[in-house]
Amino acid sequence: MSFETPKVVLLGKSKEKNHLMQKILNDIKASTIPFQFLDSVFITVGAKEQRYEIKKKYLKEGLDYKNIEDHLVNLGITKDIHLIEVVIDLDDTYGVVRDEANVILDGLFDGVSR
């Protein structure tokens, strides 16, 4: 595939004001975005700047953020890509982070009397 490196934009979507998750996502330099965190992915292609949505059913393995162009080629998207928008569901991300943090903290404080 011979096109210029597209601009990749990572966006967050939430029903709540979720400043903590926005901060965490800004601080973490993830290489892969898990499927359960993805809300949607859009690409803008061609000279006419046409915008298309990539259906989540094609992203079941998550999204390899650092090799996103290769991932798109594997999906058969070989047009001149200008922009890739990755929208993360901050509410789902918060739920997973909260649950995982509880497991870690429970393990650390297990057996500590109150």
Distance of alpha carbon 88 from alpha carbon 43, whole angstroms? 15
Q: β-pairing, 32-33 with 63-64?
A: antiparallel
What's the average model confidence in pLDDT over 91-111? Answer: 82
pTM of the predicted model as reported, rounded to 2 decimal places: 0.74
Cβ atoms of residues 74 and 62 within 8 Å: no
Closest CA to 77 of 87, 68, 86: 68
Sorted by where each begins, the domain ranges of the chain are: 7-109
Determine the Cα–Cα distance for residues 41 and 100; give it in Å rounded to an integer: 25
Q: Are strands 50-54 and 38-45 parallel, antiparallel or unpaired?
A: antiparallel
Cα–Cα dist 96/90, whole Å: 10
Q: Tokens representing 107?
A: 């393990």
The encoded tokens of residue 22 equal: 């926005």
Which tens digit of pLDDT belongs to each residue from 53-89? 998 888 888 888 778 878 888 888 877 888 999 998 8
Q: Which two tokens stand for residue 24?
A: 């965490």
pLDDT above 80: residue 100: yes
- pLDDT value at residue 44: 92
